Structure 1
Amino acid sequence: MRKIEWVLLALGLALFVVLIDRVGWGEIFRQFRQIGWVFLLVLGVSTGRYLARTRAWQRAFAARDDTPPFWQLFQVRLAGESLNYLTVAGPILGEPTKATLLRERLPVAVGLGGTLIEAGIYGLTSGLITLPGLVLFLVRVTLDPGLQRAGWLVALLLALLLLFSWMMLRRRLHVLSAAVRWVSRGPLGRRLERGRPHLEQLEDQLFLFYAGHTRAFRAVFLWDCLAQVFAVLEIYVILAALGVRVGLAELVIMEGMGKVIKAMFFFVPGRVGTDEAGAAFVFQALGYGWALGIGLGLVRRLRALVWSGAGLAFLSRYAIRRPA
């Protein structure tokens, strides 16, 4: 990692320790003891989420004869997701890795195209839960006026992004590559411009998939929606184990705001400390207290580490089978 990334990681760890110290180690241990065996149920729910996304990914290849089997895709997904979670590069490294691991079954370009199509549609479904979650949070909670205005601005921008994404698909508008062309006039210049043709190619693949494989597109969308349902269900299971019952609106707020916080602090390695701090802020604002938010964040982090360990095991297996 570069020096700035080490600094960000250190700051995240410091924030993490401060949060735990503020709540109290005894309270954290009490929450984990209270969850106990229910953690296995949490893993089961998250398994459903990974299975749904794997099925969506499989359908993104539009029933090609050389589409890899489901179990292989599941292993490769876990391998790629472990890199997404544990490395600073995140999806920049994890998504191409998935396509590379499939190269014995699919051309890398085809594998990357299907991978990015599913990731793009999943991003769309994430926006569909983030927007109502953010709006409900802003309506229900009284914040500092400046923070409130910033929140509504983010909600407006997200709504416009979702609208433009839909228009881009329907009318085949090269919005992303056009935006890169405009931004490349600035200081980033040539570096962005070099990647623009590849972005245009990806947009064309997405347009072709949407127009030529309508049923497959709908299937990917619905499976990714199911994955979002599992993410919300996971929060419910964890809070129920801690003796707290919440309604659907609050669950949407918690998941939606969690996605906002992840997007805001994507540059922090592993989002160490930021996920827990964000959950603590949201739960405190909703009246549940810091401790419950931090507890939820820690349980979800432990779940992510378990799956990342499985993903690294699959990644090492593929590395041994396919030596350089």
Structure 2
Amino acid sequence: MKNNYRNIFLLIGVIAIVIMLFTFDMKYDELLNNLKRAGFWFPVVVLLWVFIYMINAVSWYMIIHDNKENHVPYLKVYKFTITGFALNYATPFGFMGGEPYRIIELTPYVGVSKATSSVILYVMMHIFAHLCFWFSSIFLFILMYSVNIGTGIILTFAGAFCLFLIYFFIKGYKNGMAVKTLRLCKKIPFLKKWATHFAEEKKEMLERIDSQIAELHKQRKKTFYTTLFLEFTTRILGSLEVFFILKILTPDVNFLTCILIMAFTSLISNIFFFFPMQLGVREGGFAISTGKLALTGAFGIYVGLITRVRELIWIGIGMLLMKVGNKNNIVSNKE
């Protein structure tokens, strides 16, 4: 990737950090006191994401390496993973920052079509694992709590919604999604002209991307299910963050309840994905979910605060990694 492009992505991240620093709903001395209250649990929460990102990188690494020709060093994939997620935290609409960055960085190694298909596949798997996590959490809730009529209706609709999207993603894995996505864009007024031109100009590349997407489900089933398992595992590990933070506030913490809090909060965050950096949404989600699960809403606000600071730290790390280790990139002429 050219340094000019990296500098644009870096600027996005720096702006996000500045905005996050100025949008905390408390004074800095109060914020510092809350971090001191967290004690050793706060560095534990930050370090937890070293391992979560490591598993995310393994999942993407497996998707990339379908043969010996497409060799990308794991540490490069790990680096692109961290920075990609940092950019996703920093930009509205989630995928407007991290995914283009990953494609551009990966292209010199495997070519543009393979880079694009592997990033699309990883994003699909990441979302697919979210859907599986939300769907399985419905049954966990039923096992742990009594369900009245109102709650039953909500859970039924949530389950039906998850099943519909799971079906949609399975269809996408079987047939590819690039061409269909462009067809959908053609129906959107502001994107119609661009989508039509792009679809005609890049027709062969889009078809190649779709064939590579379909290949993962049809011919590489072991990779498909392994990466799904890895991504699902990161959702469970992510619940440890809630568990560690709540341990600061109360000794009576149930890890299964933390899984439900994480599932409910991530669902709310993804519903309001268009909020830049999800400002206020994550904190509100934690407050609502803890309140619904017989915990005080103040606990949820505190969890949201510590999580926001952790995100801020990892955005900073991602931005620093963007400028590190870029001298030995392999230049590829692959399409």
Q: TM range, normalised to the smaller chain?
A: 0.7 to 0.9
Q: 1:235 aligns with which of 221, 238, 242?
A: 242
Distance 2:238 2:172 in 1: 27
Note closer, same or farther for the CA distance 1:15–1:31 as it changes in structure 2 (3 Å cut). Answer: closer
Q: Does 1:284 align with 2:287?
A: no
Q: Which whole-Å CA distance do the structure 1 matches of 2:247 and 2:107 have between them?
A: 43
User: What letter is aligned with 1:43?
Assistant: V
Q: Confirm or deny: 8 A CA contact 1:279 1:294 kept in the other structure.
A: yes
Given the superposition, is the C-alpha separation of residues 194 and 267 from structure 1 closer, same or farther in structure 2, using an over 3 Å criterion? farther
Q: Tell me if structure 2 keeps the 8 A contact 1:15–1:273.
A: no
Which of 55, 76, 79 is matched with 1:52 structurally? 55
Measured after TM superposition, the shift of residue 120 of structure 1 is 1.0
Where does residue 169 of structure 2 map in the other structure? 165
Partner residue in 2 for 1:8: none
Gaps of 5+ in 1: 1-11
Contact persistence 1:98–1:115 (CA under 8 A): yes
Query: What does 1:1-324 align with in structure 2 at a 5 Å threshold?
Result: 17=25, 31-61=34-64, 62-133=66-137, 140=145, 152-169=156-173, 172-173=174-175, 178=180, 181=183, 184-185=186-187, 187=189, 190=192, 202-317=209-324
Q: How far off is 1:307 after superposition? A: 1.0
Q: Quick one: distance in 2 between partners of 1:304 and 1:148?
A: 34
The separation in 1 between residues aligned to 2:33 and 2:292, in whole angstroms, is: 23
- Percent identical pairs in the alignment equals 19
| Separation (CA, whole Å) in 2 of partners of 1:244 and 1:143 | 29
- RMSD between aligned alpha carbons? 3.6
Of 266-275 and 231-240, the range deviating more from structure 2: 231-240
Superposed displacement of residue 137, structure 1: 5.8
Which of the pair has the greater relative contact order for Cα pairs under 8 Å at 6+ separation? Answer: 1
| Aligned-pair CA distance for 1:202 | 4.2
Shift of 1:155: 3.4
CA distance change for structure 1 residues 204 and 245 in 2, over 3 Å: closer, same or farther?
Answer: farther
* 1:175–1:98 CA distance, 2 compared to 1 (3 A): closer
1:179 Cα offset (Å): 7.4
Whole-Å Cα distance in 1 between the matches of residues 175 and 114 of structure 2? Answer: 22
* Secondary structure class of the residue paired with 1:102: helix
Distance, in Å, in 1 between the alignment partners of 2:181 and 2:106 is 31
Once the 2 structures are TM-superposed, how far is the Cα of residue 32 of structure 1 from its aligned partner?
Answer: 3.1
| Equivalent residues, number | 303
Shift of 1:140: 4.7
Structure 1 residue 149, shift from structure 2 partner: 5.5
Moved more, 244-253 or 68-77: 244-253
Q: Distance in 1 between matches of 2:60 and 2:284?
A: 32
Deviations 1:93-138 (A, max 9, x none): 2112112123332213212221221221121111111123356669
Q: Give the letter for the 1:311 counterpart.
A: G
Alignment partner of 1:317: what SS? coil
Range 181-190 or range 64-73, more displaced? 181-190
**What letter is aligned with 1:33?**
K
TM-score (norm 2): 0.76
TM-score, length-scaled by structure 1: 0.78
